[in-house]
Amino acid sequence: MGKRSLLFYDEMETPIGPITLLMTDEGLCRIDFGSVKDLRTLHASWSQRYFLCPEFKEDHIKVNDIKQQLKEYFNGERKQFSIKYRFNGTPFQQKVWQALYQDISYGEILSYKDIAKKIQAPKAIRAVGGAINKNPLSIIVPCHRVIGSNGSLVGYNGGMDKKKYLLQLEKAPIDIS
């Protein structure tokens, strides 16, 4: 039997509902909207794809720093996160997620087309959208700051109500009505 991969988890209540955090010793690897109980099936199938013999362990202390930073963010006291993280995805997805993390500042918005240009794949707008849809670190990797080329709010994995809330929290320069 192979070595077990330990995944630590905890959940927290936020102004947009419960979120669940998953991390390894290397860093945060998922933030999902919903409770641990509601996400068990998703986490089980996802972890099988990226980890050898995944084992889940609830650990409030391990994720405490991330929870504190998220609380500060929701209180309007934090504009940047300083966490260790681990992306699990294709090289293209990781490139897109890294661009979101590094290139979109608090309160700023960019289009899918802008992101495609930033990663030097200007014709890959749909592929960028697909990668953003699979973003494993919602809020911290700010996919909520990505809009359509025409300035419209378009899909968000957590739901449009959450996207609007996050953009309003950050006072993003967009009509959210």
Q: What is the CATH number of the domain that holds 123?
A: 1.10.10.10
Give whole-number Cα distances, 25 to 5, 22, 54, 85, 90, in Å.
10, 10, 13, 10, 21
Q: Which of 109, 124, 143, 166 is catalytic?
A: 143
**Together in a domain, 67 and 135:** no
Separation between Cα atoms, residue 175 and residue 173, nearest integer Å: 7
In a domain, 137, yes or no: yes
* Cα three-residue angle 42-80-99, rounded to 5 degrees: 65
pLDDT score of 3 more than 80: no
In terms of domains, do 26 and 97 share one?
A: no
Residue written as token pair 């500060």: 72
Do residues 165 and 100 share a domain? yes
Distance, CA of 36 to CA of 177 (rounded, Å):
32
Which structural domain range is residue 50 located in?
Answer: 5-75
Q: State percent of the chain over pLDDT 70.
A: 97
SS3 content of the chain, % helix, strand, coil (to 5): 40, 20, 40
The domain total for the chain is 2
Residue 1 DSSP symbol: -
Last residue of a domain, one of 75, 110, 126: 75
**Picking from 56-70, 124-138, 153-167, which range would have the lowest pLDDT averaged per residue?**
153-167
143 is catalytic: yes
Eight-state DSSP code of residue 116: H
Mean pLDDT, all residues of the chain: 91
Q: Is the pLDDT reported for residue 18 higher than 80?
A: yes
Rounded to two decimals, what is the model's pTM?
0.90
**Contact status, residue 83 vs residue 23, Cβ threshold 8 Å:** no
User: DSSP assignment of 119-167, as one string?
Assistant: TT-TT-HHHHHHHHHT-SBTTTS-GGGEE-TTS-----TT-HHHHHHHH
pLDDT of residue 52: 85
Residues 96 and 38 in one domain: no
- Which has the higher per-residue pLDDT, 11 or 176? 11
Average pLDDT for residues 53-82, to the nearest whole number? 94
Check whether 174 has a pLDDT greater than 50.
Answer: yes
**pLDDT attached to residue 177:** 63
